[in-house]
Structure 1
Amino acid sequence: MSSGYWHDVASTAMEVPRDRPLVDLTAELTTMLGSTDPVERDETAYPILATWIAAGVYDDLLPGLGDGMAAGLTQGLGESGTDSVFRRSFSVLVLAECIRRDNAESLLPTGKVLEWGDRVAGWLVRERDVRGFVPGRGWAHAVAHGADAVGTLAGSSHFGLTELTVLLDVVADRVLAPSPPLTSGEPDRLAAATMAVLRRRLVPLRILEPWVARVSAGATAVGPPDTDPYLVTGNPEAFLRALHLQVALAPEPIDVRADLLLELVGALRVTNAAYLGAR
């Protein structure tokens, strides 16, 4: 359909058109999620799908819709610098909306949500295209969108201590993965996802202590002498700083706040020893 058709839909409170079957509309919007046109992708396809999901349009079709979005996470996976990133990055946003709908209405069996969690986790740690804003194409932001999905999963009643611990490990895996520097707010978004896990009040300090230590070790890793060390340490260091900020200043404090702050300050003291006069 023409862009004018979808512009009209967006301008009428995003009501579901009655002139075409929902399955056809959904298929077209799904294709548009991978568009290189940010107006089609960011301002049309994603907000329309998110609005329809939140309004209950897909309540009876939610498993199929989410499965379709999960399939989108594999398209071009492993590529970097190509346009395939848009389909993956915006598919995970819509999948997160499906999970958010279940968080609110309890529409899905536990197995389905856990399956989607596995798909999100597997994709996020394997994603190699970490670009933020792409000139001429708008936001790719795959890592940031993946972090948002992790935060949504953390709010699922289907996730207990084991699953929440896995989400923390996924965040650590992502910041420790060899990668160009994350410079478009991704460490902050990953820290926000971590806070969503911690607000469940299920993960004890005995699990958090070695988790912080693992990230801290990555932020002080020593690579070959002929390589830029910040390509290894920069992302975990940025994450530790972002998490410290959010734990310290969040208006909704977590129950392990005091103890976790001590752990984070200790880690930052080690990773910033050169600047603090500490040895």
Structure 2
Amino acid sequence: MPKKRTKTKRAGGTVAPDQRAAALRRRARPWLLALLACAAQAQAGPCPPAGWSGDSLQALQQAGFRMESAAARDALALGLLECLGEPDPALREDLAAAALAAWMREGVLAPDLLRTLRDRLYRALEQEDRDGLRWPAAARILGEIAGTDRASPWMSPAERAAMVLRASAYLQSVRDYRGFDPVQGWRHGIAHGADWLAQLARNPALDRHQLGRIVEAIGSQAVPAGGYAYVSDEPQRLAEALLQAARRGVRDEAGWSAWFAALAARLGDGDLAWRDAGWLARRHDLQAFLQAVYVGADQARDPATRAVLPGARAALEALP
């Protein structure tokens, strides 16, 4: 005979034991998440990965990152993810990120491994990045992963749609506008986020709605509200991503004109013109972005890309 479930009394009624346990689990969840985060950090691998040193990675770099053993290469690819947050720019950029990018551009990494790399990088973007180094590096490699799917499709439509959302959300979330640091090298969160979106926009599998999402993400950082003046090629990288979406016919000429007019409105209060450092920085960014878009579109031959020209020109002419 099934055992009767007992109930525990409380003021105003009774609570079943399983409900009480669920409530306790909910209250304990912040502590549990903290413990899991600590465990994940404790399990993180070393950098350089076991069996490798800075010297051996430099030797591999000099050999064009070519390795005879595919299994050893794949194991190293996973291990190098731990180097993407390293403060040493030579290790982070010239060795780890460069090796991963080289293998992806050569098309030598299998889809299962690419999925694993992608998912680990997604998790990296969800974790704290105190030094501001890991997130831009992760975005850089995720852009390379997006490029592999464009060259030889392996993602499902759902995976691709999820990446569009993640890439767009990443670019919109960037608030660390630092570029090059003489000690720690490049962060470049805006540029790497733009490159990630540009790779996705080139993919013929994306639909109009997904391309529109990319365009809106680009617009959010073309004129950053905080008033940071771009000095490290960010407007040009954002413009390239926009032109890749434009080439796919995401908007017509009237749609682009309206979009550029709305973007120009982000300059803010006209009474601040030429009297406020934030306004001047926004004007600088908007002008640099519009000029990069205009030059790129003017060199294009396809009507879809050239459809941006009237709106970009009108916005430039209307600049204070």
TM, length-normalised to structure 1: 0.86
| 1:111 and 2:158 aligned | yes
| 1:246 and 2:293 aligned | no
1:44 alignment partner AA: L
Q: Deviations over 1:238-272 (max 9, x none)?
A: 21122122222x2x333145553222221111114
Change (3 A) 1:86 1:254: farther
| 1:163 and 2:210 aligned | yes
| 1:205 and 2:256 aligned | no
Aligned counterparts of 1:103 and 1:257: Cα–Cα separation in 2: 20
Q: Which residue of 1 aligns with 2:121?
A: 69
Residue 221 (structure 1) shift: 4.2
Aligned counterparts of 2:295 and 2:104: Cα–Cα separation in 1: 33
- Pick the aligned partner of 1:51 from 75, 84, 102: 102
Change (3 A) 1:165 1:104: same
| Alignment map for 1:121-160 (pairs within 5 Å) | 121-160=168-207
Q: Which residue of 2 aligns with 1:277?
A: none
Change (3 A) 1:141 1:219: same
2:97 partner SS: helix
Aligned counterparts of 1:49 and 1:157: Cα–Cα separation in 2: 24
Residue pair 1:220, 1:233 contacting (<8 A) in 2 also: no
Residue 199 (structure 1) shift: 1.7
Residue pair 2:180, 2:188 contacting (<8 A) in 1 also: yes
Aligned counterparts of 2:232 and 2:161: Cα–Cα separation in 1: 29
2:57 alignment partner AA: W
Change (3 A) 1:257 1:30: closer
Change (3 A) 1:195 1:258: closer
Q: Which residue of 2 aligns with 1:93?
A: 140
Residue 113 (structure 1) shift: 1.4
Residue 157 (structure 1) shift: 2.6
Q: Deviations over 1:182-206 (max 9, x none)?
A: 1111001100111111122343224
Bigger drift between 252-261 and 263-272 goes to: 252-261
Q: Which residue of 1 aligns with 2:232?
A: 184
Residue 146 (structure 1) shift: 0.8
Aligned counterparts of 2:181 and 2:245: Cα–Cα separation in 1: 30
Residue pair 1:72, 1:91 contacting (<8 A) in 2 also: yes
After superposing on structure 2, the runs of 4+ consecutive aligned residues of structure 1 that deviate more than 6 Å are 223-226
Aligned counterparts of 1:169 and 1:221: Cα–Cα separation in 2: 22
RMSD: 2.4
Q: Which residue of 1 aligns with 2:12?
A: none
Change (3 A) 1:120 1:202: closer
1:13 alignment partner AA: G
Answer with 1 or 2: which has the greater Rg: 2
Aligned counterparts of 2:261 and 2:87: Cα–Cα separation in 1: 40
Change (3 A) 1:32 1:255: same
1:195 partner SS: helix
Bigger drift between 53-62 and 161-170 goes to: 53-62
Consecutive unaligned residues in structure 1, runs of 5 or more: 273-279
Change (3 A) 1:53 1:259: closer
Q: How many pairs align? A: 265
Residue pair 1:216, 1:240 contacting (<8 A) in 2 also: no
Change (3 A) 1:7 1:198: same
Q: Deviations over 1:95-135 (max 9, x none)?
A: 11111111111111011111111111111111111111112
Aligned counterparts of 1:178 and 1:262: Cα–Cα separation in 2: 25
Residue 27 (structure 1) shift: 3.6
Q: Which residue of 2 aligns with 1:275?
A: none
Consecutive unaligned residues in structure 2, runs of 5 or more: 1-51
Aligned counterparts of 2:271 and 2:68: Cα–Cα separation in 1: 56
Q: Which residue of 2 aligns with 1:233?
A: 283
